[in-house]
């Protein structure tokens, strides 16, 4: 194997693939990135067996002298490439499983892992993938994954439930205390689909979606999902089981609807949460709403004291006063899911779930359960 390539191009693709390198594994080979060079170009691949990523660099961007394949230790190799001071890099596979790297003033020989020890990873594609706009894909991930559970005692809730019927997509995530739902229309009709994707995997894919690529292709097999975005393939295992039915959890009528500036209320929540010095504790905020919709936010700590802050709605209204308590973290997370400047907070009673909707975030609903105050 021998080829020369632009350093920045190679490093950009390598750092994407490196995200799938296993940090801890019983298989040392999974700490590596597989690099293959052939007449079609250079391909890099890594996997931790839950997520696999492959990047392809077309031969037009590579000067290829000899085909071959090698397995580099991902973390060390990446640090070496970052620090090279040349514009181009020449890679040459030498005898005794050694890779020679030349760039700028550097001449490096690097011991390699055994290619034969690397598992066979198949990136499964189908003839008719689901096509979704890349910006919409990012909206779905941003709007849902944070509401999934972080606790493995209910593994099914650590994922996002994606359902597709004809040309309508529904994404839902919940940890039993909050819920996120995003509906979107697709350009094209597809077979009925009901899958559960680990939220952790979706968050990793979110980091590498290329906004310059218009579409994301979704290829589904029985136990895996593959996202193809430009020259990147991102494959993850699906969760098995039945996702709970959540359609009846969202109230349909709201006696109290308040419209807030999203940044204003986020700042107010942040201020009243200052007394929470324990990052593992839930900060409870009490919201007292008067007859004009003005909200007083209150947070107390027996050891430190009390903080109050006031926020007015964007539009005045006439309502029945009410008081509701909630997790500051859940409230803030729900607000951050929206792109809109203004957000509606809709209440259905002091002890019932309340929801958020963005003025310009079509199809996105966030639900939070209140907390019973002492």
Residue linked to tokens 């079509």: 362
Domain harbouring 161, CATH code? 3.10.150.10
How many residues are recorded in the chain? 374
Which residue has better confidence, 273 or 68?
A: 68
Asked, for residue 230, whether it belongs to a domain, the answer is no
- pLDDT for residue 132 is more than 90: yes
Predicted local distance difference test score (pLDDT) of residue 136: 95
Asked, for residue 244, whether it belongs to a domain, the answer is no
Distance, CA of 131 to CA of 149 (rounded, Å) = 28
Predicted local distance difference test score (pLDDT) of residue 108: 97
- pLDDT for residue 251 is more than 90: no
- pLDDT for residue 36 is more than 90: yes
Predicted local distance difference test score (pLDDT) of residue 278: 61
Asked, for residue 10, whether it belongs to a domain, the answer is yes
Total structural domains within the chain:
3
- pLDDT for residue 276 is more than 70: no
Domain identity same for 79 and 182? no
Asked, for residue 248, whether it belongs to a domain, the answer is no
Asked, for residue 47, whether it belongs to a domain, the answer is yes
Domain identity same for 51 and 157? no
Cβ neighbours around 179 below 10 Å, total: 22
Q: Are 63 and 4 in contact (CB under 8 A)?
A: yes
Distance, CA of 44 to CA of 234 (rounded, Å) = 12
Predicted local distance difference test score (pLDDT) of residue 124: 87
Q: Are 55 and 232 in contact (CB under 8 A)?
A: yes
Domain boundaries, position 275: 256-368
Among the listed residues 31, 10, 118, 18, the one whose alpha carbon sits nearest the alpha carbon of residue 73: 31
Domain identity same for 346 and 264? yes
Tens of pLDDT, residue by residue over 69-80, are 999 999 999 999
How does the average pLDDT of the chain come out, rounded? 94
**Of the candidates 83, 117, 151, which is a domain's last residue?**
117
pLDDT band at residue 59 under the 50/70/90 scheme: very high
Predicted local distance difference test score (pLDDT) of residue 372: 85
Asked, for residue 122, whether it belongs to a domain, the answer is no
Domain identity same for 84 and 141? no
Asked, for residue 260, whether it belongs to a domain, the answer is yes
Domain identity same for 110 and 155? no
> What is the mean predicted confidence (pLDDT) over 279-304?
88
> What is the mean predicted confidence (pLDDT) over 148-165?
94
Domain identity same for 6 and 108? yes
> What is the mean predicted confidence (pLDDT) over 331-357?
96
Predicted local distance difference test score (pLDDT) of residue 302: 81
pTM of the model: 0.93
Distance, CA of 240 to CA of 225 (rounded, Å) = 13
């Amino acid at each position: 194997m021998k080829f020369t390539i632009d350093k920045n191009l190679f490093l950009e693709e390598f750092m994407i693939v490196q995200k799938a390198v296993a940090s801890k594994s019983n298989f040392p080979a999974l700490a590596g990135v597989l690099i293959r060079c052939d007449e079609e170009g250079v391909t890099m691949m890594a996997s931790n067996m839950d997520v696999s990523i492959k990047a392809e660099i077309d031969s037009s961007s590579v000067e290829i002298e000899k085909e071959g394949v090698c397995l580099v230790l991902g973390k060390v190799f990446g640090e070496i490439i970052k620090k090279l001071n040349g514009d181009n890099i020449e890679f040459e596979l030498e005898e005794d499983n050694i890779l020679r790297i030349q760039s700028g003033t550097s001449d490096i020989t690097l011991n390699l892992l055994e290619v034969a020890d690397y598992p066979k990873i198949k990136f499964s594609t189908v003839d008719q993938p689901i096509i979704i706009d890349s910006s919409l894909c990012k909206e779905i991930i941003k709007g849902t994954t944070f509401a999934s559970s972080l606790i493995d005692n209910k593994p099914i809730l650590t994922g996002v439930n994606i359902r597709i019927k004809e040309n309508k997509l529904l994404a839902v995530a919940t940890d039993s205390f909050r819920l996120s739902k995003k509906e979107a229309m697709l350009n094209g009709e597809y077979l009925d689909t009901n899958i559960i994707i680990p939220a952790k995997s979706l968050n990793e894919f979110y980091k590498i979606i290329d906004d310059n690529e218009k579409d994301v292709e979704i290829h589904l097999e029985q136990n895996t999902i593959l996202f193809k975005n430009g020259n990147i393939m991102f494959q993850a295992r699906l969760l098995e089981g039945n996702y709970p039915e959540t359609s009846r959890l969202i109230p349909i009528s709201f006696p109290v609807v308040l419209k807030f500036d999203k940044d204003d209320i986020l700042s107010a929540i942040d201020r009243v949460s200052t007394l929470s010095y324990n990052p593992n504790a839930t900060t409870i905020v009490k919201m007292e709403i008067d007859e004009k919709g003005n909200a007083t936010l209150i947070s107390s700590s027996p050891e430190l004291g009390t903080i109050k802050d006031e926020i007015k709605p964007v539009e005045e209204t006439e309502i029945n006063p009410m008081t509701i308590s909630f997790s500051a973290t859940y409230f803030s997370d729900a607000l951050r899911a929206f792109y809109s400047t203004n957000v509606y907070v809709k209440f259905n009673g002091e002890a019932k779930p309340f929801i958020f909707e963005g003025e310009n975030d079509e199809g996105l609903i966030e639900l939070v359960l209140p907390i019973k105050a002492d």
